[in-house]
Amino acid sequence: MTSIIIASRNRGKIVEIEDLLAPYGFEIQCVADFPDVPEAVEDGETFDENAAKKATEVANHLGCWAIGEDSGLCVDALKGRPGIFSARFAGEQSDDQTNNQKLIDELDGVADAKRGAEYRCHVALADPSGQIRLTSQGRCRGRITTQPRGENGFGYDPYFEIRELHRTFGELPKVVKRHLSHRSRAFRHMAPRLAGVVISTDSARTG
């Protein structure tokens, strides 16, 4: 069974990714299980750049297949912010609570019709030599509510409402979010190709 290291220490993301890749028979591991791997500095200017950097650095360090993922919330009224700074919107030591509070504060007084937003996810697969072999992306449109709803998910999920369902990601069951989310769309697009690339590359290396 081929191991793929997820270049993230966010346990919420890891659980989602494990579920999404479960049908393909890979052993999924988290970079947090390898304490000697340094934290990637997310200094890219785009989600794509950060995802590729995470994948490459982990692959080079461990000599394994690695997936880098970078995702965030882009709010129309904030001209795309917080974007690549979603995890540290309220500062380097911020958490979900402080990030959400800053988001709501900045949207204070913004009309419902102008609170459109989208989650974006960019994914990159690096082979054991650190070369990027696949990339993928996914998006999910919604709007930002004024009050949190639901206990599920993480990050901005309690405030991110799917208009058609009138439910936030925080209110949706895991199986529904897994079908609709930006992350699931990115991984659904990549997963079938991922299996082919990994198998063919490993076969060539060992054959």
Q: Is 50 annotated as a binding residue?
A: no
Contact 20, 82 (CB under 8 A): no
Q: Is 157 annotated as a binding residue?
A: yes
Q: Is 141 annotated as a binding residue?
A: no
Q: Is 70 annotated as a binding residue?
A: yes
Q: Is 108 annotated as a binding residue?
A: no
Q: Is 99 annotated as a binding residue?
A: no
Q: Is 12 annotated as a binding residue?
A: yes
Instruction: Choose the catalytic residue: 33, 36, 43, 70.
Output: 70
Q: Angle 7-11-17 (CA atoms, 0-180°, nearest 5)? A: 65
Q: Is 156 annotated as a binding residue?
A: yes
76 in catalytic set: no
- Going by the annotation, the residues of the binding site for Mg(2+) are 70
Active site residues: 70
- Going by the annotation, the residues of the binding site for substrate are 8-13, 71, 154-157, 177, 182-183
- Going by the annotation, the residues of the binding site are 8-13, 70-71, 154-157, 177, 182-183
